[in-house]
Structure 1
Amino acid sequence: MAKVIKKKTTNSFSKFILWFWVLFASGIALVALIFLSASWGLFGELPPYEYLENPQTNLASQIISSDGNLLGKFYLDDNRTDVKFEDLPENLVNTLIASEDIRFMDHSGIDARGTLRAFAYLGSKGGASTISQQLARQLFVGVRSRNKFETIQQKIKEWVLAIRLERSYTKEEIISMYLNIYDFGNNADGIRSAARIYFGKEPKDLKVEESAMLVGMLQNSSLFNPLRREELTLNKRNVVLGQMAKYDYITEAEKDSLQATKMDINFNPENHREGLATYFRMYLQRFMKGWIDKNPKPAIGDERDRYNLYLDGLKIYTTIDSKMQANAEEAVNEHMTKLQAEFFNQNTTVRNPTTPFSDITPEETNSIMERAMKNSERWRIMSDAGKSEKEIRESFSKKTEMTVFDWKSPTKEKDTILTPLDSIRYYKTFLRTAMMSMEPQTGHVKAWVGGINYKHFQYDNVIQGARQAGSTFKPFVYAAAIDQLRLSPCETRPDTQYCIEAGKHGNMEAWCPRNSDLKYSGTSYTLKRALANSVNTVTAQLIDEVGPKSVVSMVRNLGLNGDVPEVPSIALGTLDVNVYEMVGAYGAFANQGVYVKPVMVTRIENKDGTVLYEYVPETKDVLSKDVSYAILDLLKGVTQGGSGTRLRTTGYNKWRPEYDEIITGYPYELTNPIAGKTGTTQNNSDGWFMGMVPNLVTGVWVGGEERAVHFKSITYGQGASMALPIWGLYMKKNYAMEELGISKEDFVKPEDMSIEIDCDKFTKELRQNNDVEDDLEDLDF
């Protein structure tokens, strides 16, 4: 009986073993079949092997400053810039592995232990997605479906793709691809954007606790967002730090210390309307679109394609210096805040019933408002939507909630309720500015500020805006006269009424210009003193002697491309010019008479580093060395005894105390040689200052959007009050940074200087020549 029982037990055990192997083999076969089915596309189309070997991601184009910093990017949806594995900090890689996939270096795409654990506990003790699987989902699978059957299909595809990725790439490449592809929110696409936006630094500089926060966001960047859910994100960061301690990447003591720290968020938004050099970036966008139109990609087969500024990851190397750009923007902000406060003080409705406009009729005011309304975005959008003109006009009178610009707010914005028409008038009250700084020897533009705030004032006054040059045009007249007549800056001309009769130089009527104070001193001025004090009568005499045609020819060669009529009145700066052209033209004076066209882009590369474009300088010899140096000598007189002397002094220029603070003096105290020229146009509508040191030429303009928006008196309305302070603040900041190398030396005098600039020596020689002439007259031949 016992033997029978033993036989049955043996048979039962054998069957169990048999069925076990059958089921085990069937399970393996089933898994293999599932993988094969997935690879055959039965669970949905998989990307081809070629795509796996070179997965395409949208890469933002980078704008790189001359000192190697990132100024900004061009992108549509993905603000992404790839970072190589060797540029990732070790603490970030360790944090990622400890938190997401501790056996990452040992598996081949699927973590078997983790998968079995997930099945056994139905995911209650964590999922089993490896870094490779997560990358596969990011690149090829997409957002997880809520349908359970589709979720299973997606998971199977992830397994297959993860294994393929492991075969195609190294572990290091997979880690860098994963961190580069992830969307961290707030336009932070990829680890480089995330490090810059959340902490204001490059990935290689991330601290352990910062890496832990970013890795914590990988689970769900919308949920664990430090800007919206600070406490939740902090807790998640601390969980990640706990994982690092668990796997011995940090000690328990380090964990406790780091978990006790706060998240030191340094939010630096990266978008097209904020950040450094916004106006320049928008100019660059237009430049790049023009370049792309003219430079298609190399032929591929029979097809030709164009570069995409927003997707192709181009690297655009610019001449802008990030430190000088920051100094320029700070100088504009400091001065314009106070200047605008004084403008508001002087243009209340009590003091000026037509505020913000002055010296115009109600009909002219209505014309300005009508034109602004029809040119507005609201009018365009409603018109495109098929709205009638009556409906559009009515909408401009309905009050609405809006965010407007405000100098007093820390964010430069405030929420208010206005009608769209009132908002137009409100924005007309703001003074605008433009500033450009250039290295004259190379033409490299170092700083570019097109306005006071790009988000609210998108018109770029550096290159789009053209306004009357005023007295900043006079050096061109002096240059033509010195060049053709070989005049010395020590030559004299009387300050008396001077008229050029009708028809002499093509002018229709007689032209008798007056000085700004409407007076004539009756004394003689040297050319140097006349330019320093902007004596109009002397400038009129010079253009009469040399002729307007010569002046026009010269300014054309100096890069002024606008409409320049050949009439005497151009001598006083009646033509419209922009800051970009004026800086280029003045650069020739500092560059020994050689005009160098301003350049902003030196090189363009594709994402692989292949050079697509390199700049070739455009130059032209316009003046001789001695003439250009004579002009510099004249312009140095402006800052030694003319309207630019406040750059040298610590005198006082008190502003209204009721507006936050008082400026107690000119805070520049510059002692080095400076060549410069102020300019003020009729009714104080435009204030200019052009300033030069040997290796930097900078132009500044300040004025209203409308010429009818201006100060009443020249005290505040002149170029020395409106524009010069920006130049002074900017240069003081530059000189505080010795690494910038801004010159404090004098301009180099030509060895063969043939024009006498020493007035004492000139006067002595003139007297000697006059004595000889008198002796000759006494002789009886």
Structure 2
Amino acid sequence: MTDKYQTREERRKQLQSENNNKKPKEKKPKGKKKGAKQIFKRIFLVLISLGIIGIIAGAITFAVMVKDAPELDANVLKDSISSTIYDMDDKPIEKIGAVNRDYVKYEDIPDLVKDAFIATEDSRFFKHHGIDPIRLGGAVIANFTNGFGSEGASTITQQVVKNFFFNQPQKTLSRKAQEAWLAIQLERKYTKQEIFEMYVNKIFMSENMSGVKTAAKVYFDKDLDELTLPEAAMLAGMPQAPNAYNPFKNPDRAEKRRNIVLSLMNQHGYISDSEMKEAQAASLTESIVAEDKRETSDMKYDPFIKQVISEIEDKYPDVNVYTDGLEIHTTLDTKAQDYVDKVMYEGNVVEFPDEDFQAGISLLDTKTGGILALGGDRDPDVKLGFNYATENPRQPGSTIKPILDYGPAIEYLKWGTYETVEDKPTTYNDTAKTPINNFDNKFLGSMSIREALARSRNIPALEAFRAAGADNAQEFASNLGIKLNEMYESYSIGGLGGKDEGITSLQLAGAYSAFGNEGVYNAPHSVRYFTLNDGTKINMEPESEVAMQDYTAFMVTDMMKSVVNSAYGTGSTANVPGLPMAGKTGTTNYSADDIQKYNIPAGASPDAWFAGYTTNYTMAVWTGYAKRQNYLRSNTVSNDQRIAQLLFKNIMQYISQDVETADFKMPDSVEKVSIEKGTYPARLASSYTPSSQIISEYAVKGNIVQKVSEKYNKLDPAKNAKASYDKDNDAVNLTWSYGDTSDVKFDVSVSINGGAAEQLTTTSDTSLKIAKPDPDSTYTFTITAKSSSMTSDAVTASVKVPAKLEEQPATDENETVDDDTKTDDENTGTEEDKKNNNNGNGNGNNNSNNGNGNNNGNNGNNGNGNGNNKDDEEADENEPDENENEPDENEADESTQTEDAADQSQQSTTP
């Protein structure tokens, strides 16, 4: 053995020595390890405690939330409650409820329909027990991410609970807890088949009906077992938003929703890819019932009730007016509605051109915006059909001008009603520089905005729009409930386009009511309030909003008064005599392409409007056809384009009977201004302005025009003064011309051969005749116009009377006689003698009429002398007929003289 042998004791000592020589190992502190374990234990215990506390708190909270949950009443699960509608006087007018429902048993529901609804509404319906934890988890995450209510987790069972037991129009945590609690109970008491049967018979499917079986009949005229895959999918997609996905009203949206349902059916394995694609390609509009074959309704106030339903469903989508037993209190004026129906349906108050002619009428309370009556369709048999008053956006034509043009100009620029605008050739500011025209293709030059609106001139409206600015116009319209997505210059005359297809008569009536309500806008509404089945009252009246300054409302209103009561206003057909009212006409045009495409005659229009108001009522009327190619004939051919005005007049006259109608009150922010007629830009009337030349206008206080007219400080002189000698009748004729002679008289004096001037007369006529003038004498006349305290510069005119030829001796037959005592039969002699005698009478009478005294039968010169002694009052009483001696101005202007005549007749004018 090579190794040295060692005893056990030696080996032990050696090992001990080696161990002593080794470096000792570092030992970890025992305290730190122990501390980490203790922290972990504490955290774990805290979490466990919090979890327990959370569970306890959640349980307590859940218990508190569900303690007030309704009992799971079997009777409630079977019965639905109709709603009652009341008029403005709280008298019941109609009951609407789930009467239009065909009940279907579970075993009679085709698998195709079951699969469509389950895939869409609750894919794990047959697996959960009332609540779907997976769906609930996804909804919780979505609600934390996007806010409470962003995504629902309701199962079909929960929807049954909600539809039967809850109708509160708000989403709350307590309601969700109660739904979940009742859903669990429902699953315990009823089978899945029974719950599904409750669901498909209860769901609201628009068109005043509930239940899938009824919907199949209404929309497709089929029983459930006759439905195709795309038809079943469309019905399954409706419960989420029944009115939005109504295929009659919104076929495009309904088709998109149907295709989503088909995708879900494919996703959950109910149909193949090829079946899905084939069904998605099917046309929805070809499968639904044609409009002329749809069910009709005997509901008396159909258009109005449809609006009531729409308002509640839009604002409170969880409320079902057909099943929730609501008490709905409306703004309906049954007297007004009955008359609107009479006018619309009977056609003997206003004559319509044919059966296809349509009208949309919206009648509001000016002060509240409450809808008093609606004329929605001329066919009374259509069941909750298309409403031309509320669902028919059309281009408004010139009815938009107060809203986009003149209203903003007064609101933001403080224009007065006399502001001058120019009706002249103009183009839009587009790249093509498209010309803008008036309806008559004429240009009338300068005018006030009052006249421009009353005459419905397009170019001045565009000028006002440009001055106010597109942004201001858009804001002004928005304040009146007309939300325009875009703003082009063509909008200024009602040519809406692009994203803005038009406005409805209800929107227009709402906007106009603010003008009549001192600038305060109340959104049109048909429901004042409604109460739920549990007695909860929900107010529906909108809050009043100040849409414009009171000066804007008053001044636009006063301008629109001129539309109906001025000689040049376009709305005179709508005027109700004696009723303070304002309004505006509107028509629209066909494009060049439409004219060619539909062979439209000149002057035809697709739309005609009239909107107007009193302090009590506001009404907007649209007339036209459903199909654009059917046109309204021009006023020169028929009254088609005036029917809107006739409808307005008849209805407004009827409802205003025995009702006190106050005039529109001028606010303190407005001043009345006296403007001199025909001044552009406007000038204040001076103290010399004739009363006939003064018009009343309005201005914003502190913004009155400052310049005063000087036109009438001195009267204009007479013009075209001319004196001439009439050889045949031996008389001097004096004529002159003047503009408006209504308040003007003329002083006429004469000087013979340069002698002293003597006044002949003061007359309102513009001509004078002197018989038997002195021969070989020059007569110089002076004419001065005067009115009140003003006089004009004098003008003169002269004429030389030639020397008289030697007279021939008279025969017995030509002896002078007293014409006043001799009849025409007694005036014998030659024709020339008769002429002389008659001229004597005529000259004498004429001079007498001019205030020249007792001249009948006497020598002309003597008559003149005597006449000069008459005073002005006697002269006035003997003035001739205004038209008797009126000269022809054109003849006077265009007359020429030979050199010989110039020696006898001279004319001069002194400024």
Give me the TM-score of the superposition, normalised by structure 2.
0.41
Higher relative contact order, structure no. (Cα contacts within 8 Å, ≥ 6 residues apart): 1
Greater fraction of residues in helix: 1
